[in-house]
Chains A and B, each alone.
Chain A
């Protein structure tokens, strides 16, 4: 194997598992340390810069960072659980001080470029957040009453209170966005005709799946609802009640929100019914847990057959029982078991079986091409469509995802729009900003706290169930208090404190090999990766994690240093025990380049304060 090139920003980035997994690459350990230090405002700003919606995401994020978290790969007496990264994010939003003064100032003098936004979801809001500080005029169209997109229309208020949503949406709108709410765009051509310098489409994936051909669908229509439409009508308070017996069809997160909302609007006997085995349900494990906690049973392997209508009214549903059979290629078929069909009585049915994109309002003769599944043809990195000044992002780009993905798209689309409007090549993009800084303060002292906690993951307290089920606005999760937050924060291993090896200094004394609690380090002759992985101090079986290989060592032993990054604790003991400082712990700060980084200094609380002082003077 060739020696590792640690100058490649992606090498150490990958070691920070959570940040690497985060679509927006939020510097997670950086803000967790700030929380542990009680610096909630700063922690909020680190988040805000990367993901724009710390308080919203701290409650609702799909959290791809958590399954990736290194702590989850460890073992003490039992298997470890990941750090509660998402709930820590909420802590900084809950406990922060004034943040508005730390946000970038909006220039009075505009740059003369006008950008139109269709849809006020997280994707559009992110693009606007990145363009407003550069002097762009942003003009926003959305068919709802207020901003937020599906964060407002779909995510129920018991998971995301309106104040939290409004606060973070307004940080962007208050930058001076020209808003046109309750304005549906029915023709792309009309927008094109207004000669905007660029147009961003962030209209999401607004069409909910239906079962149009199922017998009884038409007759029972008054009590059969499309999940996402029904949730929107609850959010805007058009719907305030539902029947006592409710069937929710589908096993995704929308289904979980539908059934939990039903429980709060009068549903006593609310059931989830899925066609396939329960273990293949798409909903996040924690959403399923929460639904179960509200006494919602789940029925698996029930395929909807017919809506039962009596006297023109829906009275129940008939299901066929199936089992999943897998062929040699692992392909699944649902085979009827032959048991009698099941009738479930009900007053209402909510269909929550998926979501699609729909662009009926975009004329197909504008030069804007559509491809597979009627999705726009886009460049995967720049989000540029085949009409060069039209860009897409969020669910409207590649199909339904989640908020953090919409944010990640938004940052990139903003860069594209800025480059496009400045007459620069859209595909020329700057690499991320990285900073590697030694943490050494003394022989056994580091600038980060390496005495991490052995505690198990802390559980976020919940509101009283009885009260919660009576009040749709009452937030169920209460969030960590400061002590719980500190305790949980101390479980983080600081994976951004990188072990940096300088081969010229090594005398091969083996001290680092001997001390390493997780046997990460080996000195051996080099070889091909597959062979090397079997020859290390501990087997390196997780191929998703890299091996860090040094060049030849100065001694005549013909060996190299090989470190398996898989379960390094970032404890720094190797560096503490190294007599020659061949190992050093260095903090690796990786930031995805944003529009304003391209134009000027990095946006940090410090640089902003400086800038304000200059402006005041």
Chain B
């Protein structure tokens, strides 16, 4: 019987700039179904954080409820974490971020957690441009409660129950674009070559980075009739372009001819490079992104890659003009609870 994670790693496993190995970014062994797309996303998060040399203790992992929302237990076991209430990850993330803006906020949610019960919270966190990476592990069903259709299930898609869904799906990518999210992308759990750079870019982006990841549920929604199965994704996946993430220090080696590549500099000096595959795609054009998403849906394709980024956006702290001198978390007890007299004085101003 094993739920053990052996101690041994490949003898060639190297360390990153801060001397950590890949293993330092892992968590406990997953209890999800064998073959779940969510586990691949976990592996991609581990790889992205390792490659970015992130200090694990500077990350806050915040999630709602669902199989997807369980995954923060399976990566970054040396980070902070808050497994919150169903659909309420955005409120917790907002509170934490306002109290301490210095951490890296990684929100993990599911399509049920975001597009059903948490849709209201999602809308507001996107329009407020909270500085975080918000990942939806999108399997088109409620995995944890045994596979009911979720709000992202496509019309006609049939999960294990066999009955095709009849309701129009919520397209989280279009919504995020419409609501003013400053970074919008889509990935597939089965394509780490694309997913890892997207996660790295999302973590580096200042502002609200939204990443929709199609992540097949092997147990309830990997059927021949499903549009969120491994097979369907492999056949219908389209890309805006090949994404490369180039950290600030790294020297840019390959030269592309103009027009073949878009280079976007993020606020921390890192670059996202989008190598064009087919049609001209401008990842800094919000309307264009919405149109491309619509067009792909019409053709029955699933558009992946970096859809939109605004590297100069203003996050919630900028907009509110919060102070960097006295972040909330540094206030002492006396300042936070000034006592009955101070309260009385405040109340007095409203009488």
Residues of A within 8 A of B (CB): 73-76, 79-80, 442, 444-446, 450-452, 454, 507-511, 513-515, 517-519, 538-539, 541, 555-557, 567, 569, 571-573, 576-580
Question: 20 A-B contacts, Cβ less than 8 Å apart?
Answer: A76-B9, A446-B2, A507-B231, A508-B234, A509-B35, A510-B40, A510-B190, A514-B40, A514-B42, A518-B8, A538-B12, A556-B234, A571-B6, A576-B2, A577-B34, A578-B35, A579-B33, A579-B34, A579-B218, A580-B35
A518 lies within 8 A of B1 (CB)? no
Residues of A within 8 A of B7 (CB): 76, 454
Q: Whole-angstrom distance from the CB of B235 to the nearest CB of chain A?
A: 7
Smallest CB gap from B229: residue in A: A507
Complex: chain A residue closest to B192, CB-CB: A510
Determine whether the beta carbon of A508 is less than 8 Å from that of B190.
yes
Q: Does B13 contact A (CB under 8 A)?
A: yes
Using A80-B8, A451-B4, A511-B40 as known contacts, list a sample of 6 further A-B pairs with CB atoms less than 8 Å apart, ordered by residue number in A.
Answer: A508-B230, A517-B8, A518-B10, A571-B6, A576-B2, A580-B35
Q: Closest chain B residue to A76 by CB distance? A: B7
Task: Tell me whether A555 and B231 are in contact (CB under 8 A).
Answer: yes
CB closest chain-B residue, reference A73: B11
Q: Tell me the residues in window 33-54 of chain B with beta carbons closer than 8 Å to chain A beta carbons.
A: 33-37, 39-40, 42-43
Known: A515-B39, A517-B8, A555-B231. A445 touches B190 (CB 8 A): no
Contacts of B39 in A (CB 8 A): 511, 514-515, 577
Q: Is B5 an interface residue (CB 8 A)?
A: yes
Contacting residues, chain A, for B30 (C-beta < 8 A): 515, 577
**B1 A445 Cβ-Cβ under 8 A:** yes
B residues in contact with A556, CB < 8 Å: 234-235
Q: Are A76 and B35 in contact (CB under 8 A)?
A: no
Most buried by A among B8, B33, B42, B189: B8
Residues in chain B near residue A511, CB distance under 8 A = 34-36, 39-40
Cα separation A454 to B4 with both chains bound (whole Å): 12
A444 touches B13 (CB 8 A): no
Please indicate which of the listed interface residues B4, B10, B189 has the most CB atoms of chain A within 10 Å of its own CB. Answer: B10
Give A70 Cβ to nearest chain B Cβ, in Å. 10
Question: Is B216 an interface position by the 8 A CB rule?
Answer: yes
Q: Which residues of A contact B1 (CB under 8 A)?
A: 442, 444-445, 451
A509 and B190 contact, CB distance less than 8 A: yes
Decide if B3 is an interface residue (CB 8 Å cutoff): yes
Q: A509-B40, A509-B190, A579-B218 are in contact. Are A518 and B9 (CB under 8 A)?
A: yes
Closest 3 CB pairs of A and B: A579-B35, A514-B43, A509-B35
Q: Which residue on chain B has the smallest CB distance to residue A517?
A: B6
Docked Cα-Cα span, A442 to B1, in Å, equals 8
Chain A: minimal CB distance from B151 (Å): 24
Q: A576-B34, A580-B35 are in contact. Are A507 and B8 (CB under 8 A)?
A: no
Q: Complex formed: what's the CA distance from A312 to B189 in Å? A: 88
Interface residues of B in 184-228 (CB under 8 A from A): 189-190, 192, 216, 218-219, 222
Contact residues in A for B35 (Cβ distance below 8 Å): 507, 509, 511, 577-580
* Interface of chain B, main secondary structure: loop
Chain B residues with CB under 8 A of A580? 35
Cα distance A538–B22 in the bound complex, in angstroms: 12
Give the number of residues in B that approach A within 8 Å (Cβ atoms): 35
Q: Which residues of A contact B192 (CB under 8 A)?
A: 510
- Residues in A with CB closer than 8 Å to B43 are 510, 513-514
Report whether B42 and A538 are in contact in the complex, using a CB–CB cutoff of 8 Å.
Answer: no
Q: Give every chain B residue within 8 A of A79 (Cβ-Cβ).
A: 11
CA distance A508 to B216 in the complex (A): 12
Interface residues of chain B, those whose CB is within 8 Å of chain A, are: 1-13, 29-30, 33-37, 39-40, 42-43, 189-190, 192, 216, 218-219, 222, 230-231, 234-235
Q: Could you tell me if B10 and A519 are in contact, using CB atoms closer than 8 angstroms?
A: yes
Whether B9 contacts A444 by the Cβ 8 Å rule is no
User: With the chains together, A491 CA to B135 CA distance in Å?
Assistant: 41
Residue numbers in A under 8 Å from B231 (CB-CB): 507, 555
What distance in Å separates the Cβ of A582 from its nearest Cβ neighbour in chain B? 10
**How far is it, in angstroms, between the C-alpha of A569 and the C-alpha of B7 when the chains are bound?**
10
A538 to B34 Cα, complex, angstroms: 23
Tell me the nearest residue of chain B to A579, going by C-beta. Answer: B35
Q: Chain A residues near B8: list those with CB within 8 A.
A: 74-76, 80, 517-518, 567, 569
What chain B residues lie within 8 Å of A508 (beta carbons)?
Answer: 190, 230, 234
Q: Which residue of A lies closest to B4 (CB)?
A: A451
Nearest Cβ on chain B to A244's Cβ, whole angstroms: 49
Do A450 and B4 have beta carbons less than 8 Å apart? yes
Smallest CB-CB separation from B235: which chain A residue? A556
B2 contacts which chain A residues (CB < 8 A)? 444, 446, 450-451, 571-573, 576
State the Cβ distance, B112 to closest chain A Cβ, in Å.
21
Task: Give the residues in chain A near B36, CB-CB below 8 Å.
Answer: 509, 511
Decide if B11 touches A557 in the complex (CB within 8 Å). no
Kindly report which residue of chain B lies nearest to residue A75, judged by CB atoms.
Answer: B11
Q: A539 contacts B12, CB within 8 Å?
A: yes
Q: For B33, what are the chain A residues with a Cβ–Cβ distance below 8 Å?
A: 579
Q: Which of A538, A541, A569 contacts B13 (CB 8 A)?
A: A538
Q: How far is B220's CA from A579's CA once the two chains are assembled, in angstroms?
A: 12
Selected contact of A557 from candidates B12, B13, B37, B234, CB within 8 Å:
B234
For B216, the chain A residues whose CB sits under 8 A away are: 509
Residue in B4, B30, B192 whose Cβ sees the most chain A Cβ within 10 Å = B4
Docked Cα-Cα span, A519 to B39, in Å, equals: 15
Q: Is the CB of A569 within 8 A of B6?
A: yes
Task: Name the residue on A nearest B11 (C-beta).
Answer: A75
In the complex, the chain B residue whose C-beta lies closest to that of A453 is B7
Which residues in B have their C-beta under 8 angstroms from that of A569? 6, 8
Q: Which residue of B lies closest to A564 (CB)?
A: B10
**Which residues of A have CB within 8 Å of B42?**
514
A580 and B43 CA atoms in complex are apart in Å by 20
CB pair A74 B34 closer than 8 Å = no
Nearest CB of chain A from residue B315's CB, rounded to whole Å: 32
Q: Which residues of the other chain, A, contact B40 by a CB distance below 8 angstroms?
A: 509-511, 514
Report the minimal beta-carbon distance from A487 to chain B, rounded to whole angstroms. Answer: 16
Q: Which residues of chain B are near A573, meaning CB under 8 Å? A: 2, 5-6
Complex Cα spacing A74 to B43, Å:
22
Determine the residue in chain A with the shortest Cβ distance to B218.
A579
Residue of A nearest to B46 (CB): A514
How near does chain A come to B25, taking the closest CB pair, in angstroms?
Answer: 13
Residues of B within 8 A of A80 (CB): 8
A576: which B residues are within 8 A, CB to CB? 2, 34
Q: Which residues of B are found within 8 Å of A451, using beta-carbon distances?
A: 1-2, 4
B34 CB to nearest A CB, Å: 5
Name which residue of chain B comes closest to A581, CB basis: B34
Task: A565 to B122: give the CA distance in the assembly, Å.
Answer: 46
Q: How far is the CB of B8 from chain A (nearest CB, A)?
A: 5
Bound Cα distance from A578 to B43, whole angstroms? 15
Contact B9 A509 (CB under 8 A): no
Question: What's the Cα separation between A250 and B237 when bound, in Å?
Answer: 71
**B10 CB contact (under 8 Å) in A513, A514, A538:** A538
Chain B residues, Cβ within 8 Å of A567? 8, 10-11
Using Cβ atoms and an 8 Å threshold, which residues of chain B touch A73?
11
Q: How far is the CA of A557 from the CA of B9 in the complex (A)?
A: 29
Report the bound CA distance from A444 to B29 in whole Å: 13
Q: How far is the CA of A577 from the CA of B13 in the complex (A)?
A: 22
- In angstroms, how far is the closest chain B Cβ from the Cβ of A193? 62
Q: B4 contacts which chain A residues (CB < 8 A)? A: 450-451, 571
Docked Cα-Cα span, A219 to B30, in Å, equals: 79
CB of B84 to closest CB in A, whole Å: 26
**Chain A nearest Cβ from B160, distance in angstroms:** 13
Q: How far is the CB of A542 from chain B (nearest CB, A)?
A: 9
Assess whether B37 is in contact with A509, with CB atoms less than 8 Å apart: yes
CA distance A555 to B34 in the complex (A): 19
In this complex, which of B1, B29, B42 has the most chain A Cβ atoms within 10 angstroms of its Cβ?
B1
- Expressed in whole angstroms, the Cα–Cα distance for A507 and B33 within the complex equals 14
CB distance from A287 to the nearest CB of B (A): 28
The minimal Cβ–Cβ distance linking B94 to chain A, given in whole angstroms, is: 31
Is A444 within 8 A of B3, CB to CB?
yes
Provide the residues of chain B in CB contact with A452, threshold 8 Å.
6
Could you tell me the distance in whole angstroms from the C-beta of B11 to the nearest C-beta in chain A?
4
